[in-house]
Amino acid sequence: MKEKIIAYLKEEISSEPLDDIDINEDLLGSGIVDSLGMMRLVVFLEKEFQKKIGPEDMTVENFKTVQSISDYLTQ
C-alpha cells in the first residue's frame, strides 16, 4: 500500500522530480502535496483502495505522511 502511494505521489503529484519519499516525511509541509494535489490524491486513494473518504476525514492528521495515510486507510 505504501509503495503504491509513494509511486503515485512521485509520478502524478510532485511538480519536481523526487528520488524517494520517506514514509514519515511531511507531505504538506514540504510542499510535495498542495491543495489541488490533495484532491487528486484523495480520488486516487478512493479508486485504488475502494474506500470512500469523507470531507470530515480529510485532515492534516490523516494525510500528513505516507504512514498516516496508510494508517487511516487500514483502520
What does the pLDDT look like over 45-68, one tens digit per residue?
A: 999 999 999 999 999 999 999 999
What pLDDT was estimated at residue 16?
78
The answer to whether the beta carbons of residues 2 and 67 sit under 8 Å apart is yes
What is the count of structural domains for the chain?
1
Chain segment 7-23, per-residue pLDDT in tens: 999 999 987 778 889 99
Report pLDDT for 41: 97
CATH code of residue 20: 1.10.1200.10
d(CA 56, CA 30): 23
Containing structural domain, residue 20: 2-74
Q: Is the pTM of this model over 0.95?
A: no
Q: How confident is the model at residue 32 (pLDDT cuts 50, 70, 90)?
A: very high
